[in-house]
Structure 1
């Protein structure tokens, strides 16, 4: 099965109360996990996203789509990056739990739609 593991939060506001050591340790954790997933062959794709301040939002305004510079969702709700892995649901939840235990922000694990459900 393929799963998308999504990390939420923004680089600025989310990290403003964290020490430089914590930020360094978080980066080591994420890079180590990324390397582990690559080496195991579980990784399909992973990307980090720019801070939400660089995003555009497209909304339906006055009977048509209108791109804007905001307002945005709260930073803590913004998608910061993701992994797509090929593994069991249990493994996907294990990966997300490892990160959540450290960063203390939620992650979402979602099976890709073109995959049959696990039995």
Structure 2
């Protein structure tokens, strides 16, 4: 089964890191991805740019409405995602627990709902 693991953390905590701490965290994330890839669990993933680069789109009455930033104001911001393959929720929890930013924020785990074509 496929699971989307959404990585959330407080960007203020990240912004307060020294360049060396930030580089170390990024190296850990790369190593985590490499390990998940080597075991066949990693299907894809990416880090996201900071929330100040985001836009939210809504279409109402056929017209687009765009606002700056993410949809919700929260303490933690969506920072990236891992798309993982796992046998069940227990296994994906074990795998996601190794994602380094889990120490700084949270990982939301969502099963993928496969849409069936007609």
TM-score by length of 2: 0.75
Q: CA deviation at 1:102?
A: 5.7
Work out the number of aligned pairs and report it.
114
Cα contact 2:29–2:100 (8 A) shared by 1: no
- Where structure 2 has 5 or more consecutive residues not aligned to the other structure, the ranges are none
Kindly tell me: are residues 70 and 32 of structure 1, through their superposed partners in 2, closer, same or farther at Cα, counting changes over 3 Å?
closer
In 1, Cα distance between equivalents of 2:3 and 2:43: 9
Please say if 1:83 is aligned against 2:87. no
Q: CA deviation at 1:63?
A: 8.6
- Where structure 1 has 5 or more consecutive residues not aligned to the other structure, the ranges are none
User: What residue is the counterpart of 1:8 in the other structure?
Assistant: 8
User: What residue is the counterpart of 1:52 in the other structure?
Assistant: 51
TM-score by length of 1: 0.75
Q: CA deviation at 1:108?
A: 0.4
In 2, Cα distance between equivalents of 1:8 and 1:52: 11
Query: Where is the strand percentage greater, Structure 1 or Structure 2?
Result: 2
Cα contact 2:9–2:104 (8 A) shared by 1: no
Q: CA deviation at 1:74?
A: 3.1
Please say if 1:26 is aligned against 2:25. yes
Q: CA deviation at 1:24?
A: 2.8
Kindly tell me: are residues 75 and 50 of structure 1, through their superposed partners in 2, closer, same or farther at Cα, counting changes over 3 Å?
farther
Cα contact 2:25–2:100 (8 A) shared by 1: no
